[in-house]
Structure 1
Amino acid sequence: MIRLNLRLKHFFILAWLLCLWAMLAITPSSYVSYYPELSDRTQLLSELQNNLGTQAMYGVLNAPGNIGQLTNWKTGAWLAILSAVMSVLLLSSLHRTAEAKGTGELIQSTGHQRSAVLKAALLTGGVVAAINGAVSTAILIILRLTLTTELTIAGSITYGLSIFLTMLGIMALASIVQSLWGTAHNLNRLGLLVIAGAFLVRVFADTSSQAWAHYLNWISPLGWRSVIDCFGTDNWGSILVFAIASLAWAAIALWLNSRREFNSHLLHLRRAHHAHQRRIGGLHSLNLVMHRTGIITWAVVVGAMLLTFLPLIDSLIPLLQEDEATRQALQSFIPMADFQKAFITYAFQLCAILVAIACVAPIVAYIAEEHRGIVDLIRSAGTARYAPLEGAVVISFSTLACCTFFAIAGGLVALQIQTSTVEEGNRIILESTLNLFLQSLLFIGLAVLIAGVAPRLIQLAWAPIAIAAVVSIFGQVLGLPQEVINLSPFSQTDSASLLMFAAIGVLAVGGGLWGSSLREVYK
């Protein structure tokens, strides 16, 4: 079953891993160019160790601040989160989603025990995590030979092990939560909530003034990277502890899985005896009822993200004022004329990537519904050929509208929380939110066009988001010309360019709906 899982998900796995490895390979060189000598980082290290803003975003940077520690501190923070997201999506698709589709029951009919599906999913995730950790280690060792000896072999190995254990720990915790509350509609959301919870625990552990708080990193898989201290002390004892914890959580997940009914969960919320009868006004109304939880969840995440990160301006500005080297390093990620405005724009840029993913997801899910025969059933009721895809488009635009509203609310509240005053802050928030809205329209349109015309290629709907995100966030680090960076919608703030992107998106939506009215259901 492990080989079958790897074969079924090979495209998904390769796409994720190649992006993660590319990020790891390109960032150490930028740190070397800005800080070639250890003495160049003395002031930076002193500032970062006392800065709550950077500690909340990336964690604590330990002395002496070598290139390996900088890579583990900043790039490692992003890669740990992205690797965790990958592991959750992989686990859900191989285990509980298989139950919801009925393939899990088919596997059991061949004589396999029900636990075999979860075991195979966890072991498949373990194999992918091991590959991710091993290749990450190899990349860092190659960079040691070609770039700098500050990337030690021991640190490279412990970094690979930290990524491996982070993925295992998150998968096991996600499986536990899915056994307790998981349904066919909330599996990925529960997994992402596990990651969000682990992140918040890590943030509290790294920023709290309480002496005991740092021990919380021991129970958060996203905090394990800090405890292991790759390229620093290389705490091998903690690696053993985290490996045992991951195995223990996996055992608990298997036990809970054995206690629940097939395609069900253990904890059921008590409902009122006289439930309100809901009036369904048609296909669009039904879609909104079925997807409302997901829409609200994405919107709350976007609002909470802005509410968390925008107040960090207060702690970052003194750091930039006192350290020219730090300002130059951040210039690669946040081009700065007016730093306050640039940081707000950068935060909204990250949220725009998240919103684009949230809006494209319903279109991709629609093709899965076609494949399962659900769209055939809808069409048999006499609806137009394009109506089911139109319903998915309505969900995408509803998600975009809700995320836009929460982005405005989160941004405006964040401005009130921070102590410093952002000049014309309300206008900047509103303009950034409008940019977010217009940027997402292009990606929705491209996804709908693929779904309507070439449904077999629907996974390519993620490619424009991935390419645009890499160009926008890492374009400066990669040395790309500004003209190339501006081709990414996420990099654009010019109204005329954004309106052009939005117009292309709207036209693509029309083309996709027209294409779906001409073709048969994808099987």
Structure 2
Amino acid sequence: MTALTGTRALARLALRLDRVRLTVWVLGLAVMPMATAANYLTLYPTEADLRAVSGVLTNPSLVALSGPLFSVSIGGLTAWKIGVTEFILVGLMSLLTVVRHTRTEEETGRLELVRATVVGRYAPLTAALLVTALANLAIAVLIALGLMATGLPAAGSVALGVATGLVGMLFAGVAAVAAQLTAGARAASGIASAVLGGTYLLRAVGDTGPTWLSWLSPTGWGLHLRPYAGERWWVALLFVGVTALFVTAGYALADRRDVGAGLVPDRPGPAQASPALRSPFALAWRLHRGLLLGWAIGLALTGAVMGGAATGIGNLTSPNQQLTDILTRMGGRTGLTEAFLAAIFGIVGMVAAAYTVQATLRLRQEETSGRVEALLATRVGRLRWAASHLTIAALGTALLLALSGAAGGLVYGAQVHDIGGQVAQLLGAALVQLPATLVLAGFGTALIGLAPRLSSLAWAALIASVLLVEFGALFGLDQRIVDLTPFAHVPKLPGSAFTVTPVLWLTVIAVALGAAGLAGLRRRDMPVA
């Protein structure tokens, strides 16, 4: 038996388990560039139209958001609009896939049973990387074919597909390392996701400031491969080299640890718990605090970086109708700066919702791991246990939004010499996103209580919300479809009048979904595998 024995069988098993999940990811990521290009062909049919819009897309604020525009063409505009989004999503797909088929399998104990058969030491990690590589290859090929089908140049189409696939594989390598460091899948996903978020911030700062920072970011490399703008194929070598380093490190670290353990050892707790852990809420806080701290740092930095970038949008001396239309779709209806800030905090709200979903689904994780049975064997009831986690999910989301708004207000306010006014204004712009995030928490709770095996659909709801809000207008979708996402009903602050009605309705929907989920949780069997 070799270290790779059983890789083929494990890869087939992973493909079977993920056949629906990966199909949705692959098709969604492949269709977005093609649909974007097709809509731009309709919106900007002449060279004059392209030149009119391209002049304003070089504004530093928009560069920080989506990257630089390298080519005044339909292809260049498509790469500008879709590139960073594709890179973030494909990186997320890849890291989640690798962690799911490595660390999650270990944490649940299934991998220990599998390795009791004829399976080599490196087979699980190799199978996870192979499955992820196949998904990224399919995405790259379909992106290239789809863009060429719209009439765009073949070289640029292939370059954008290759860049997307290479970004995905690099973060698969990052996840391969993260899965060796900790004993928990959630922590491994958190580490890899933090690296992904950090690369976005590096690119945003580097594209508007010190250029060398952008070259430290894989999302920056994807843009600097320059699809449709004189492709730099040598940039692909950066991806290949760094991915190889991460994958090699992943295998080396896997060789140095025991199954089920991480290289960073768990610290043994005291023999007796402190009085602060005598309630379910205190225990839930202990379980959530590390995750919340990481998210707090990330969103505070995001708010500060984007708040600093907002001043550049005001430098546009002759904004045209195309820019106004773009920013109006993104959020806000009065000044350009207010529209940009509304767009930024709309995105921040959806990012914070990822924490909301992750914290909510901790209920399901506690159930499937078997830990909740020991807790419920005491005087703690189901509703009290669930309420403790949901309270932290809601309050934690509010804290994340507040930190982002305050950081953005401080930086932007310092630049316009109005710290007090801007902190208050951007706090409002951030916190108004809270009811929409709570709808996703309520949806996740409803799934856990009524259809626990489908609880992962809470992530699908979040991804669908992002796509509908960001690309619904561009793709010409009926507004009734876009309105299916809670974020479509959030008041666009600053820049628009605050209306309490949609906020109240979102809150009512969130409470109703949560109540339905808790009622189901109270009545159904536990645990449900």
TM-score of the alignment, normalized to the shorter chain, above 0.5: yes
Q: Spell out the pairing of 1:10-409 with structure 2 (5 A cutoff).
A: 10-42=19-51, 44-49=53-58, 51-63=59-71, 65-144=72-151, 151-180=152-181, 183-209=184-210, 213=212, 217=215, 219-266=216-263, 279-319=276-316, 321-409=318-406
Q: Deviations over 1:286-335 (max 9, x none)?
A: 11101111122223322222221123221123237344433334334335
Deviation, 1:16, is 2.5
Q: Distance in 2 between matches of 1:110 and 1:274?
A: 37
Q: Distance in 2 between matches of 1:510 and 1:341?
A: 36
Q: Deviations over 1:8-65 (max 9, x none)?
A: 122322233333234223212333334323344345445544x3323322222224x2
Code of the residue aligned with 1:233 in structure 2: it is: G
Code of the residue aligned with 1:284 in structure 2: it is: F
Deviation, 1:118, is 1.1
Q: Which residue of 2 aligns with 1:148?
A: none
Code of the residue aligned with 2:132 in structure 1: it is: G
Instruction: From the superposition, tell whether residues 439 and 245 of structure 1 become closer, same or farther in structure 2 (CA, over 3 Å).
Output: closer
Q: Distance in 2 between matches of 1:249 and 1:459?
A: 28
Q: Distance in 1 between matches of 2:172 and 2:428?
A: 38
Identity percentage of aligned residues = 24
- RMSD between aligned alpha carbons? 3.0
Q: Distance in 2 between matches of 1:203 and 1:346?
A: 16
Instruction: From the superposition, tell whether residues 322 and 468 of structure 1 become closer, same or farther in structure 2 (CA, over 3 Å).
Output: closer
Q: Distance in 2 between matches of 1:142 and 1:331?
A: 30
Instruction: From the superposition, tell whether residues 263 and 207 of structure 1 become closer, same or farther in structure 2 (CA, over 3 Å).
Output: farther
Q: Distance in 2 between matches of 1:347 and 1:190?
A: 24
SS at match of 1:517: helix
Q: Deviations over 1:433-455 (max 9, x none)?
A: 34212222222222212211221
Q: Which residue of 2 aligns with 1:415?
A: 412
Code of the residue aligned with 2:476 in structure 1: it is: G
SS at match of 1:259: coil
SS at match of 2:254: helix
Q: Which residue of 2 aligns with 1:4?
A: 13
Instruction: From the superposition, tell whether residues 355 and 202 of structure 1 become closer, same or farther in structure 2 (CA, over 3 Å).
Output: closer
Does 2:453 align with 1:456?
yes
Q: Distance in 2 between matches of 1:458 and 1:301?
A: 26
SS at match of 1:114: coil
**8 Å CA contact 1:202, 1:223 repeated in 2:** yes
**8 Å CA contact 1:174, 1:194 repeated in 2:** no
Instruction: From the superposition, tell whether residues 504 and 198 of structure 1 become closer, same or farther in structure 2 (CA, over 3 Å).
Output: closer
Q: Deviations over 1:141-177 (max 9, x none)?
A: 2211xxxxxx111211121111111111122133234
Instruction: From the superposition, tell whether residues 200 and 345 of structure 1 become closer, same or farther in structure 2 (CA, over 3 Å).
Output: closer
How many residue pairs get aligned? The number is 511
**8 Å CA contact 2:104, 2:184 repeated in 1:** no
Q: Distance in 2 between matches of 1:102 and 1:132?
A: 32
Deviation, 1:457, is 2.3
**8 Å CA contact 2:296, 2:403 repeated in 1:** yes
Instruction: From the superposition, tell whether residues 26 and 207 of structure 1 become closer, same or farther in structure 2 (CA, over 3 Å).
Output: same
Q: Which residue of 1 aligns with 2:6?
A: none
Q: Distance in 1 between matches of 2:207 and 2:142?
A: 28
Q: Distance in 2 between matches of 1:66 and 1:265?
A: 49
SS at match of 2:524: coil
Instruction: From the superposition, tell whether residues 294 and 318 of structure 1 become closer, same or farther in structure 2 (CA, over 3 Å).
Output: same
Q: Deviations over 1:366-389 (max 9, x none)?
A: 223323322223222343233433
Instruction: From the superposition, tell whether residues 257 and 515 of structure 1 become closer, same or farther in structure 2 (CA, over 3 Å).
Output: same
Q: Which runs of 5+ in 1 are unaligned?
A: 145-150
Stretch moving more, 494-503 or 465-474: 465-474
Q: Distance in 2 between matches of 1:180 and 1:373?
A: 23
Stretch moving more, 86-95 or 35-44: 35-44
Q: Distance in 2 between matches of 1:309 and 1:201?
A: 12
State TM-score, norm by structure 1: 0.88
State TM-score, norm by structure 2: 0.87
**8 Å CA contact 1:475, 1:485 repeated in 2:** yes
Deviation, 1:95, is 1.0
Deviation, 1:430, is 3.7
**8 Å CA contact 2:472, 2:482 repeated in 1:** yes
Q: Which runs of 5+ in 2 are unaligned?
A: 1-9, 492-498
Code of the residue aligned with 2:177 in structure 1: it is: I
Q: Distance in 2 between matches of 1:38 and 1:260?
A: 59
Instruction: From the superposition, tell whether residues 227 and 12 of structure 1 become closer, same or farther in structure 2 (CA, over 3 Å).
Output: same
